[in-house]
């Protein structure tokens, strides 16, 4: 046999081997998955190699969230492997979560052999049909000759343009069959080529508006995080060189350092007073990598009524979707920021009205003086949830450790966003668009796998944490020292808050009855359980939690009736915010029209 035919023979392998080879070529080091009948050939191939590590989760939804945590904290594509039928359907929530929050994930699903597709075979589901609106794109591989190319394309599509989840459905006969491996193509994709370089005409137009602005505001989102750490650095540079105030969506926290005096905090439904009023009162708004989500805009016809709006986004379909803008810039956030900086510095750029900007800052400082995030923590007795997050932040700061925060969904999530400061991008993992309870624990697993030495904390609620509590088993198996910090108010707090404010205090089904003993629960999962009942316990429990080199559940009993403020009620405008009691009169009325909104 000649050397060439030998080389050619070496390229012929099983479908399962082709998949793993393609993953390796794409730089994959870890897969989050759960085995089953249809993917047994892939698990057999995984068993016989050492290049790719497999993390066995306890539920397929958690595999996707773990891959999301891995992806968001590293900037790499997260990879998931699940079986056919229920394996795939269980993954759907995670896929939609990744779609809404633009997280690059490749999810491999098993499928019944091609000759049985459509026959209602055991563990068969129409996975590509079910996941079509749940993914950025999906594939069903019915020809082994296309297998390697499909995997390569999936990674390209997942990470290009606005990132998102991709499903590759793999029939069992394709995984068992023999075929040739092909390397990733070096030619551009035949149809999917997102534009990343901004149009310089639009950039110059934007800079002219920004230079002439008297009341500017920069509003940034997850797109800046997705564009890589360089985008966050450029954002900070741009904000400092212009002297503009900067606010961020939930997804964008960490791009502009929270300690920067020009950072106004988060905006939107539970954003700060100063951020929302700056948005309402601005005359020029620069949106980079955010999508005018309803949580952010409030009532649309009262949104920033006097502002010229500039919107930079990598996804053209995000522009002019909810809010009509004056200048549209399609491009990658880092390239857009670099172009804005260059254009701002240009010799012929018009002069900036610094006096007007100073007057604008005076107004903003006035709003800031309201101190909208203040709360009253009594020196004895019940722990305020805000205080618990604030102390957690302060104490983790003292440790100096690189800290990553994930959350579940609800009040605790908003308090985490409000009271935990983020100085760097990729340190904050939360389910923003879909609002998936049960996201935080598996996401923390993924983060800890990617950053074994970092401090990873899931700030949770007692209701959300139960939605994926089985993942405590995964923490134990892989010795992942994730800290679960539960703000336990014995209520689905955000549901309770809305029922109090909008539904006459009728707390329909929002009480967390029959809760487990979280300390014993931790113990049964080979973790350490801690509990803080009063304010006297809080600091000690946080210190103890951080000192333990292993998974911990810290059950923090907090005030049961605390509400999350400020709040823009549904259907209200930014300047119709409700502040905490004592800062402003009673609750503003919510119209029936507003009640319809979620």
Partner 1 sequence: MPEGTEIGQRSATIAVLVDNEAGILARVVGLFSGRGYNIESLTVAPVDEERRQSRVTIVTTGTAMVIEQIKAQLDRLVPVHRIADLSLDGPHLSREMMLIKVAGAGEERMEALRLAEAFRARVVDATTGSLVFEMTGAGEKLDAFIALMRPLGLKEICRTGVCAMARGPRGLQA
**Which residues make up the interface to partner 1 (CB under 8 A)?**
128-129, 132-133, 136-137, 140, 157, 190-192, 299-301, 315-317, 319-324
Catalytic residue among 13, 445, 494, 545: 494
Considering 25, 29, 123, 370, which one is annotated as catalytic?
123
Burial class, 180, CB count within 10 angstroms (exposed 0-12 / middle 13-18 / buried 19+): middle
The whole-angstrom separation of Cα 191 and Cα 350 is: 40
Report in angstroms how near the CB of residue 123 gets to partner 1 at its nearest: 21
Nearer CB in complex with partner 1: 88/157:
157
**Rounded to whole angstroms, what are the CA distances from 134 to 92, 110, 194, 223, 490?**
7, 17, 20, 20, 32
For residue 89, what are the contacts with CB-CB under 8 A and spacing of at least 6? 125, 130
For residues 243 and 213, is the Cβ–Cβ distance under 8 A?
no
DSSP 417: H
DSSP 347: T
Nearest CB to partner 1, comparing residues 129 and 261: 129
Give the contacts of 524 (CB within 8 A, at least 6 positions apart).
Answer: none
The secondary structure of 248-272, three-state, reads ECHHHCCCCCCCCCCEEEECCCCCC
Q: How far apart are CA 101 and CA 312, in angstroms?
A: 17
Least Å distance, CB 115 to partner 1, is 16
| Residues whose CB is less than 8 angstroms from the CB of residue 475 and which lie 6 or more positions away in sequence, other chains included | 445, 482, 525, 527, 551
**172 carries an active-site annotation:** yes
Cα–Cα distances in angstroms (integers) from residue 77 to residues 23, 73, 74, in the given order: 11, 10, 8
State in angstroms the smallest separation of the CB of 114 from partner 1.
12
Kindly tell me which of 137 and 370 has the beta carbon lying closer to partner 1: 137
- Rg, Å, the chain Cα set: 25
Specify the residue, 306 or 523, whose C-beta has the smaller distance to partner 1. Answer: 306
List the beta strands (DSSP E) in 522-561. 528-532, 552-557
- Please provide residue 469's backbone torsions phi and psi, each rounded to the nearest 5 degrees: -65, -25
494 labelled catalytic? yes
Please state, as a whole number, how many other Cβ atoms lie within 10 Å of the Cβ of residue 493: 30
What angle is formed at CA 131 by the lines to CA 126 and CA 136, rounded to 5 degrees? 145
Please give the helix or strand (H or E) that residue 416 lies within, else none. helix 411-419
Q: Closest distance between partner 1 and the C-beta of residue 152, in Å?
A: 14
Closer to partner 1 by Cβ: residue 74 or 128: 128
- The residue (of 299 and 496) whose beta carbon lies closer to partner 1 is 299
Rounded to a whole number of angstroms, the minimum distance from the CB of residue 317 to partner 1 is 4
- State which residue, 191 or 259, has the beta carbon closest to partner 1: 191
Of 17, 60, 471, 576, which is the active-site residue?
60
What is the number of other CB atoms lying within 10 angstroms of the CB of residue 186? 5
Catalytic residue from among 24, 122, 214, 520: 122
Are β-strands 12-14 and 178-180 bridged in parallel, bridged antiparallel, or unpaired?
antiparallel
In the bound complex, what is the minimum distance in angstroms from residue 303's beta carbon to partner 1?
9
Furthest-apart CA atoms within the chain: distance in Å: 88
Determine the 3-state secondary structure of 510 from DSSP.
coil
CB of 162 to partner 1, least distance (A): 8
Give the separation between CA 298 and CA 568, rounded to whole angstroms: 7
CA-closest candidate to residue 155, choices 71, 90, 251, 96: 71
Nearer to partner 1, 29 or 294 (CB): 294
At which residue do the structure tokens 């959350």 appear? 407
Q: Which residue, chain included where needed, has tokens 């703000």?
A: 487
Min separation Cβ 127 and partner 1, Å: 12
In angstroms, the Cα distances linking 362 to 271, 285, 356, 358, 359 are 20, 18, 10, 6, 5
417 vs 573, beta carbon nearer partner 1:
573
Contact criterion met (CB below 8 Å) for 132 and 140: no
Nearer to partner 1, 95 or 443 (CB): 95
87 in Cβ contact with 110 (< 8 Å): yes
Residue number with CB closer to partner 1 (323 or 482): 323
Contact 441, 460 (CB under 8 A): yes
**Where does 521-595 show beta strands of DSSP type E?**
528-532, 552-557
Min dist. Cβ of residue 492 to partner 1 (A): 28
CB of 199 to partner 1, least distance (A): 16
CB of 55 to partner 1, least distance (A): 28
Look at the block and give the residue holding tokens 């029922």. Answer: 499
Catalytic residue among 68, 76, 124, 172: 172
Residues labelled as active-site residues: 60, 122-123, 172, 494
């Amino acid at each position: 046999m000649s050397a060439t035919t030998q080389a050619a023979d070496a390229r012929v392998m099983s479908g399962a081997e082709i998949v793993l080879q393609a993953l390796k070529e794409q730089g994959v080091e870890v897969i989050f998955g759960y085995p089953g009948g249809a993917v047994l050939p892939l698990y057999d191939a995984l068993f016989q190699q050492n290049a790719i590590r497999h993390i066995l989760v306890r539920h397929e939804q958690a595999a996707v969230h773990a891959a999301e945590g891995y992806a968001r904290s590293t900037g790499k594509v997260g990879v998931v492997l699940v079986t056919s039928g229920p394996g795939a359907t269980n993954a759907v929530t995670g896929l939609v979560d990744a779609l809404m929050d633009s997280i690059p994930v490749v999810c491999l699903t098993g499928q019944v052999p091609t000759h049985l597709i459509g026959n209602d075979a055991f563990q068969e589901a129409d996975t590509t049909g079910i996941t079509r609106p749940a993914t950025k794109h999906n594939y069903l591989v019915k020809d082994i000759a296309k297998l390697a190319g499909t995997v390569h394309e999936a990674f390209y599509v997942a990470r290009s343009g606005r990132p998102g989840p991709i499903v590759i459905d793999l029939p069992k006969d394709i995984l068992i069959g023999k075929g040739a491996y092909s390397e990733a193509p070096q030619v551009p994709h035949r149809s999917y080529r997102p534009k990343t370089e901004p149009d310089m005409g639009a950039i110059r137009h934007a800079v002219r508006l920004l230079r002439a602005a008297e009341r500017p505001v920069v509003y940034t989102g997850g797109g800046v995080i997705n564009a890589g750490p360089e985008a966050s650095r450029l954002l900070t540079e741009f904000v400092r060189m212009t002297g503009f105030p900067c606010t961020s969506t939930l997804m964008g926290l960490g791009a502009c350092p929270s300690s920067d005096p020009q950072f106004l905090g988060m905006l939107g439904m539970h954003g700060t007073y100063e951020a929302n009023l700056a948005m309402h009162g601005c005359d020029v708004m620069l949106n980079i990598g955010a999508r005018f989500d309803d949580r952010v805009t409030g009532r649309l016809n009262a949104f920033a009524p006097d502002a010229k709006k500039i919107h930079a986004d990598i996804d053209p379909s995000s522009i002019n979707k909810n809010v009509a803008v004056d200048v549209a810039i399609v491009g990658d956030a880092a390239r857009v920021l670099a172009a804005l900086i260059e254009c701002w510095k240009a010799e012929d750029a018009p002069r900036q009205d610094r006096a007007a900007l100073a007057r604008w800052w005076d107004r903003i400082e006035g709003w800031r003086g309201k101190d909208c995030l203040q709360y009253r923590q009594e020196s004895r007795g019940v722990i305020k949830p805000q205080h618990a997050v604030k102390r957690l932040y302060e104490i983790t700061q003292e440790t100096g450790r690189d800290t990553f925060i994930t959350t579940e969904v609800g009040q605790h999530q908003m308090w985490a966003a409000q009271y935990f400061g983020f100085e760097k991008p990729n340190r904050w993992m939360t389910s923003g668009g879909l609002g998936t309870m049960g996201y935080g624990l598996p996401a923390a697993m993924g983060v800890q796998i990617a950053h074994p030495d970092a401090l990873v904390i899931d700030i949770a609620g007692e209701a959300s944490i139960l939605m994926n509590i089985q993942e405590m088993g995964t923490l134990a198996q892989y010795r992942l020292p994730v800290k679960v910090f539960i703000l336990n108010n014995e209520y689905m707090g955000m549901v309770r808050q809305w029922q109090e404010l909008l539904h006459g205090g009728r707390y329909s089904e929002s009480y967390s009855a029959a809760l487990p003993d979280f300390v014993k629960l931790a113990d049964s999962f080979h973790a350490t359980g801690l509990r803080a009942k009063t304010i006297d316990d809080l600091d000690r429990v946080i210190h103890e939690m951080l000192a333990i080199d292993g998974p911990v559940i810290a059950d923090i009993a907090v005030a049961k009736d605390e509400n999350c403020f400020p709040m823009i009620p549904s259907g209200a405008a930014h300047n119709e915010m409700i502040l905490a009691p004592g800062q402003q009169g009673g609750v503003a009325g919510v119209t029936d029209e507003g009640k319809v909104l979620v």
